[in-house]
Every structure is written in structure tokens, then in C-alpha cells.
């Protein structure tokens, strides 16, 4: 179902504010200026044992002006919806650029030489981008969740919670629903003007089991990923909630009885519900070019996949093909145009196991010799400056690949990993370990019951180098998260990662209880 931009958003003085701000920036000598107006509504509902435990509904509304003046960035934001106020915000952005230029010049004179080979103290220049005039884009959804009464939302979560609580295996249930409706208007001095609307949501239920005699407890969470869809995701298309909720009590009861894993080396079949997070941490963040260059270091470190290794680094086995994508239907990072007016694209990051691309914004693209940004600039609110953020980074399936069952059937001694849980990765995105929701022992091509206390550990290149088979399109699932963090002050972005099931040979398995006891 196609939707139009909300009339209540279009009724705001978007164009007049933009014209006032951009005219003032031009008059003050800015080489580039862009204006971004956003209205972002976030609402959340939480239930504990089918009873309401909290809710929130907030709207962030305002605008930002970013300029390049004298070869230096300047930024300011405001909430006063008058032309004079917008012009003043543009003046503040130019003043910030002038002040930044003085600070950079003083810092450069102290260090004597640029700290990076790309001239960190040099002028800000932006990669060229075609002008996109009067463009509109709306994400793919059927029912805006904000059009659904709150009572219906909490009622469905309560009913699902009660279904789980009806099992003797489940002692408690936490349920939540996060929803976002985002409107964005962008204009710049080059002539690009875009208006966009996105809807996304994240439903989640967690069942908790408690052994009253021993006090031991464990939990199991739904595998349904957050998506760029509407209310229909909970009531119709997109996920089989009936089957998932019916299976959780039995799986949880089995997990409580399961033996602890014997540490060692195993073959792994990793389900998309787990593998998406490994992709996010070891490929998604590692191929952000600002991180690989060292420009982003304070929040979660840099990257081992440095720029000098482009076209050379053997990231994984030859069957490894990973794309960056801002166009995937229902993707959480899918857009029409980014926060620098760059049209959404899809491109290769890893091709046949070799690093061939990065995620870029316009400044980083120009700095490193790329002709064009691939549209990875994003700010999570009108009060924040756009930074280089992650696209939907996805591992491609084998067009003629096996089913998950057939991948398992080819393993003599291994573990089938389902669902994400905890993770740990170093500041270079290289050494890591991941746990999951469910782990099944594989013996002679068959599942032989669950295991507990499992974590798989590797370096990024060893892990992806051990990938021996990827499943077919029938195993492909678009997973993801609402809460990818980056930058200081911190910003949060939603991002999806698609992948098939995949087989990895000879992966090191840790027993988490033994590791914790060391």
C-alpha cells in the first residue's frame, strides 16, 4: 500500500524556513549549506506478565543548518519556526565554522604536521552529487502503527504474554513494542530538495523459566527482527507469530535441562537470527571508512580493515559476498536520500572474499578519491549533526544454495546456532565472541538436543575464511537492530542485515561458565 507524506508535516513552513536559512548562509559566504527539518515520533509500550509496566510517546521536532565556510564545518539547530529564527541559526552555523577554523589552525600549528596522510587539518570538500529537485520518498508499509489505538497494541502484547504464561515451563514474560514515525525535509544550496517519510517497529517477547528447587533460571526471546514495516507485521504479513510463540515454551524447557557444552572445535551452522549480529559487528562497523581511517575512534574504536587494504584484504572465503544497501525493501537503514542529499544506492563491500568497498559520506568520499558518496550520512535528530552511519550490510545467499536442514545434514559433529544474545569484540573489530538464544548439538547430520553455556570465538578473517557454504535464498532473513550507537555526543541508528544460513568449519567453542570462572 502506497502512502503519501503526512499533510500535517507538509503544512509546516518547511520551504520558507529553508529559504531563509540558506539565503543567510550564502550571504555570509558559505561554500555549501544544507537545511534539514525533522519530526520524529517515538512510542513504546512495555508489559510484565501481561500487565502494563510502562509506556512513552515523544515527538522531536526542529531543524538544523550545516555549512562549509572557509573550508570548515559549522552546525547549529533550532526549534523556533520563524524565518528570522532560521536565518539566525544559519548565522550561528557560520560563526561556528569560523571558530572551528581558528581552533583547527591553532591545533595544526602545535602538532606541526597533519596526523593522518589524508590531511585532517585540510579544507572540507564534498564529493559531487547530482541535484535531486523536488523528490519524495516513503518507506514500504501498509498500516501506520500510530493509526492503531494504544489499547489494541497493548491488548495484542497481553494476549501473547498470556499464551506463553499458560505453559508450566514459563514463569514470567516481558513484552515490548517500539514504534517510530519519521518525517524529514532536506534542502541545500546546490538545489536538492527532498521530503521523506519512514515507519519502523520492533516487537519483542522474552519468556523466563525458573527452577524453584535450585533457583536456576534462564530466558528465551522471540527471533522476530525489527523491521521497516507497519502494524501489519504483527497481525498479517512478515512473520509467523503463531508458530514462534507456540515453540518457545518447549524450547525453553529443553534449554533448562540441556547439558553444558564441552569446549573445543566444532563445525557451526549459524542461523540468520544469529549471523546478522556477527555481520553487524565484524563487517558493518569495520567497513565504515571514517572508522577505518581513524576519524572515528572514541566510540567503539577503529577498524583492522584499513584503507590501504582496499582490493587486497582477504576478508573471508571465496563464497563471501557482502553488499552495502540503502534501498532494501523494509530495511531499517533504507532511505530515498541521505542527510547530505545523496540518493540511496547498493554496492559491494566484499566480493568473492576480498574487501572491495566501504561505507562513505560526501566528505570522506572526496578525501579518499571516490567520485561519489554512497549515501551513508545520517543524524538521529534535528539537534545532531549528520555523521557517517551504517547501511543495510548483508551477506548474499547462494542462488542455488542448500536449505538450513541440508546444511545441518552435511555436518558430522557440530552446533546449530539460533538467535542473538551477548557479544564482545575488540576495538579493531577483529577478535570477537558471540552467544545465542538456542544451541543444538549436531551429530551425524541430525540435531541431537540443546546445549547450554555456548559461545563461539574467532578473529574476523579466520571466521569468515572458515565459511564453507551459504544457504539459498529460501534461508535468507533480514535481521537488525534499533540501537546501533556511534559518535560523541552519541547517536542511535536503526539498521538491518540480511543473510542466509551458513556453514563454518572448525570454529572454536567456549564454555561460558568455565570462562567466567577463570
Distance in angstroms (rounded) separating the CA atoms of residues 332 and 335 = 9
pLDDT of residue 212: 87
pLDDT of residue 1: 66
Average pLDDT, the chain: 95
pLDDT of residue 300: 82
Output the nine-digit C-alpha cell for 135: 523528490
DSSP 318-365: TT--EEEES--TT-TT--SB-TTSPBP-EEEEEETTEE---B--HHHH
pLDDT of residue 61: 98
**Residue 414 Rama label (left phi>0; alpha psi -120 to 50; beta):** beta
pLDDT band at residue 213, thresholds of 50, 70 and 90? confident
- Write out pLDDT tens, residues 143-162: 999 999 999 999 999 999 99
- Write out pLDDT tens, residues 374-429: 999 999 999 999 999 999 999 999 999 999 999 999 999 999 999 999 999 999 99
Residues of the chain with CATH 3.30.2290.10: 7-257
Is pLDDT of 103 > 90?
A: no
Is pLDDT of 19 > 80?
A: yes
Is pLDDT of 326 > 90?
A: yes
Of 392, 393, 388, the residue nearest 376 (C-alpha): 388
Q: Provide the CATH number for the domain formed by 7-257 in this structure.
A: 3.30.2290.10
Distance in angstroms (rounded) separating the CA atoms of residues 322 and 332 = 17
- Write out pLDDT tens, residues 352-364: 999 999 999 999 9
pLDDT band at residue 368, thresholds of 50, 70 and 90? very high
Share of the chain above pLDDT 70, in %: 96
Instruction: Indicate yes or no: pTM above 0.85.
Output: yes
- Counting Cβ atoms within 10 Å, is residue 364 exposed (0-12), middle (13-18) or buried (19+)? buried
Distance in angstroms (rounded) separating the CA atoms of residues 309 and 323 = 18
pLDDT band at residue 109, thresholds of 50, 70 and 90? low
Average pLDDT (317-330) is 98
pLDDT of residue 118: 36
Is pLDDT of 214 > 50?
A: yes
pLDDT of residue 379: 97
Can you tell me which residue has the cell 571514517?
Answer: 290
Distance in angstroms (rounded) separating the CA atoms of residues 160 and 459 = 39
Of 252, 260, 166, 161, the residue nearest 211 (C-alpha): 252
Is pLDDT of 112 > 60?
A: no
pLDDT band at residue 215, thresholds of 50, 70 and 90? confident
Average pLDDT (271-300) is 95
pLDDT of residue 2: 78
Is pLDDT of 117 > 50?
A: no
Average pLDDT (341-357) is 98
Amino acid at each position: 500500500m502506497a502512502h503519501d507524506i503526512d499533510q500535517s508535516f507538509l503544512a509546516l513552513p518547511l520551504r520558507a524556513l529553508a529559504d531563509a536559512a540558506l539565503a543567510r548562509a550564502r550571504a555570509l559566504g558559505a561554500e555549501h549549506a544544507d537545511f534539514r527539518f525533522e519530526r520524529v515520533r517515538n512510542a513504546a509500550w512495555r508489559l510484565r506478565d501481561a500487565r502494563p509496566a510502562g509506556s512513552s510517546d515523544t515527538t522531536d521536532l526542529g531543524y538544523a543548518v550545516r555549512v562549509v565556510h572557509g573550508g570548515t564545518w559549522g552546525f547549529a539547530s533550532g526549534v523556533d519556526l520563524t524565518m528570522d529564527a532560521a536565518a539566525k541559526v544559519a548565522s550561528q552555523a557560520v560563526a561556528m565554522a569560523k571558530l572551528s577554523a581558528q581552533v583547527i589552525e591553532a591545533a595544526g600549528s602545535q602538532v606541526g604536521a597533519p596526523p593522518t596522510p589524508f590531511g585532517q587539518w585540510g579544507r572540507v570538500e564534498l564529493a559531487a552529487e547530482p541535484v535531486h529537485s523536488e523528490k519524495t520518498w516513503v518507506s514500504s508499509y501498509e498500516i501506520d502503527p500510530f493509526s492503531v489505538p494504544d489499547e489494541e497494541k497493548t491488548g495484542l502484547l497481553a494476549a501473547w504474554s498470556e499464551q506463553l504464561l499458560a505453559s508450566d515451563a514459563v514463569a514470567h514474560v516481558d513484552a515490548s513494542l517500539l514504534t517510530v514515525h519519521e518525517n524529514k525535509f532536506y534542502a541545500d544550496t546546490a538545489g536538492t530538495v527532498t521530503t521523506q517519510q519512514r515507519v519502523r517497529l520492533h516487537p519483542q517477547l522474552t519468556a523466563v523459566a525458573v527452577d524453584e528447587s535450585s533457583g536456576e533460571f534462564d530466558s528465551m526471546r522471540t527471533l522476530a527482527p525489527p523491521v521497516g514495516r507497519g502494524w501489519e507485521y504483527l497481525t498479517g504479513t512478515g512473520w509467523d507469530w503463531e508458530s514462534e510463540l507456540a515453540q518457545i515454551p518447549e524450547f525453553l524447557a529443553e534449554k533448562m535441562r540441556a547439558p553444558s557444552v564441552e569446549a573445543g572445535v566444532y563445525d557451526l551452522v549459524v542461523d540468520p537470527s544469529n549471523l546478522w549480529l556477527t555481520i553487524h559487528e565484524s563487517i558493518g562497523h569495520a567497513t565504515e571508512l571514517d572508522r577505518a581511517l581513524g576519524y572515528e575512534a572514541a566510540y567503539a574504536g577503529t577498524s583492522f580493515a584499513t584503507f590501504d587494504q582496499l582490493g587486497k584484504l582477504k576478508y573471508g572465503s571465496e563464497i563471501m559476498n557482502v553488499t552495502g544497501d540503502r534501498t532494501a525493501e523494509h530495511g531499517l537503514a533504507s532511505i530515498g536520500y541521505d542527510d547530505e542529499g545523496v540518493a540511496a544506492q547498493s554496492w559491494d563491500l566484499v566480493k568473492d572474499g576480498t574487501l572491495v568497498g566501504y561505507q562513505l559520506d560526501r566528505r570522506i568520499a572526496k578525501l579518499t578519491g571516490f567520485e561519489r558518496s554512497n549515501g551513508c550520512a545520517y543524524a538521529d535528530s534535528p539537534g545532531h549533526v549528520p555523521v557517517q552511519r551504517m547501511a543495510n550490510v548483508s551477506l548474499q545467499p547462494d542462488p542455488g544454495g542448500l536449505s538450513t536442514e541440508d546444511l545441518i545434514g552435511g555436518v558430522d559433529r557440530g552446533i546449530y546456532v539460533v538467535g542473538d544474545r551477548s557479544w564482545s569484540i575488540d576495538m579493531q573489530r577483529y577478535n570477537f565472541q558471540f552467544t545465542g538464544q538456542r544451541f543444538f548439538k549436531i551429530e551425524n547430520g541430525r540435531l541431537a538436543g540443546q546445549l547450554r553455556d555456548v559461545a563461539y570465538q574467532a578473529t574476523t578473517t579466520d571466521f569468515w575464511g572458515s565459511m564453507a557454504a551459504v544457504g539459498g535464498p529460501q534461508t535468507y532473513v533480514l535481521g537488525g537492530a534499533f540501537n546501533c550507537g556511534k559518535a560523541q555526543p552519541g547517536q542511535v541508528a536503526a539498521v538491518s542485515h540480511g543473510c542466509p544460513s551458513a556453514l563454518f568449519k572448525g570454529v572454536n567453542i567456549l564454555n561460558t561458565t568455565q570462562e567466567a570462572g577463570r
